[in-house]
Structure 1
Amino acid sequence: MSARPEPITLYVDADACPVKAEIYKVAERHALHVHVVSNQPIAIPRDDRIHRVVVASGPDVADDWIAERVSRGDVVVTADIPLAARCVKAGADVIAPNGKAHTEATIGATLATRNLMDDLRSAGQITGGPKPFSPRDRSAFLSALDLAIVRLKRAGFTT
C-alpha cells in the first residue's frame, strides 16, 4: 500500500500582503488549503479551506509560525526575505507578491542584497524603499503562483 500524497498548502504572510484576493481565487480554483497568518485579525472569505491564524504581536512571530510548519509541497507567499530563506531551506516554494520566486539557487544572493540594503538604510546612505506595487506585479504573481501549483501537482502533490 503506497503512502497518500501530501496536499499542497498555501501559507500567506498576510499583514502587508497586497495579493490576498488573488490567493483566495487561485486557492478556490485548485481547492487548496490556505493559512492566512498575521498579528491582527484580517478578513478572509467564508471558505472551510481558508484559515485565519492570528499570532501574538512581536518581531518574527508570524514568520516563526509559518517557518515551523512549512515543508516540501507547500507554497509560501511573503515579501519578507529572511522568512523566504527559512522556507526555501525547509523545501517550500516561495513567491513574493511581485511574482519573484525564491529558490535555493537565488535566495542566498537575495538575502545578502537585502542585508546590505538594510545596513545602508540604517547608515542613512539610502532613503528610498521598494518601487510601488503595480498591475504588472500582480500579473507576475498570479503566473508564478499558478506555475508553482501546477509543478507541485505534476510532482505528485494533491489538493
Structure 2
Amino acid sequence: MSRSEDHSTTRPTIFVDADACPVTAEAIAAARKHSLRAVIAGNSTQNLTRHIRRADPREETGGFWVDTLPVAVGSDSADFAIVEELSPGDIVVTQDIGLAAMALGRKAKAIGVRGRVFSLATIDMDMEIRHQEKKVRRQGGRTKGPATFTEDDRAMFAANLDRLIRGQMES
C-alpha cells in the first residue's frame, strides 16, 4: 500500500520550494522538532545540501530525515516535481501561489514564507489577482512588489508552520 493510499498511518512530509526561499532553515528545524521527513526542492544551480547538517539522516530511520529533490533549470520545474511527490496531508512551503493551488488540489497544505496558510476558500481569488498583476506587467505597467522580508515575517512563518504541523498530525 502506498503512502498516499494509507494516509491514516503516515505523518506529513514537509516539501520546501527552495528557489529564493528565505525560511528553508526554519522549515527544516520544524521537521526536526516534529520528527518529520523534509524534502528540499530546487534547480540544479542551487547547493541544496547546504541546508543539511552532517548529523541529519539522508535515509528514513523512523523519524526525521532530510533529502533533496534536484530539478532541471526552468520555469516551474521545482513546482511540478514537488506536486508529483505530494500525498494528502503533506505540507508545502512556497512563495508561489500556483504551487500552493496545485498542493491544495492534491489535498496537501501550503504555507507562504511569511506564514500565510493558503486556503481552498481564497486560492481562486489569489490566482486571479496574480493573473491580473501579470497582465499589467506584460503591458508595460508596474505592480507593487512584496515588502522587505523581516524577522517578524520569519517568526510568523515558524509559529504558523508549527501550528499547521500539529493540526496535520492530530487529524
TM-score (norm. length: structure 2):
0.85
Name which of 40, 44, 66 aligns with 2:51.
Answer: 44
Matched, 1:109 2:113: no
Aligned twin of 1:56: 72
Aligned twin of 2:22: 18
Contact 1:94 1:101 in 2 (8 A): yes
| Structure 1 runs not aligned, ≥5 long | none
Contact 1:44 1:52 in 2 (8 A): no
Q: Which amino acid aligns with 1:37?
A: A
CA RMSD of aligned residues (A): 1.3
Name which of 89, 97, 107 aligns with 2:105.
Answer: 89
Aligned twin of 2:10: 6
Contact 1:12 1:78 in 2 (8 A): yes
The alignment covers a number of residue pairs equal to 153
Name which of 136, 139, 148 aligns with 1:123.
Answer: 139
C-alpha distance in structure 1 between counterparts of 2:93 and 2:123, whole Å: 14
| Structure 2 runs not aligned, ≥5 long | 1-5, 58-64
C-alpha distance in structure 2 between counterparts of 1:152 and 1:140, whole Å: 18
Aligned identity (percent) is 36
Name which of 136, 152, 158 aligns with 1:136.
Answer: 152
Aligned twin of 1:27: 31
Aligned twin of 2:88: 72
Give the secondary-structure state (helix, strand or coil) at the position aligned to 2:146: coil
The structure with the largest helix share of the pair is 2
Q: Which amino acid aligns with 2:151?
A: P
Q: Which amino acid aligns with 2:30?
A: V
Contact 1:44 1:50 in 2 (8 A): no
Contact 1:39 1:56 in 2 (8 A): yes
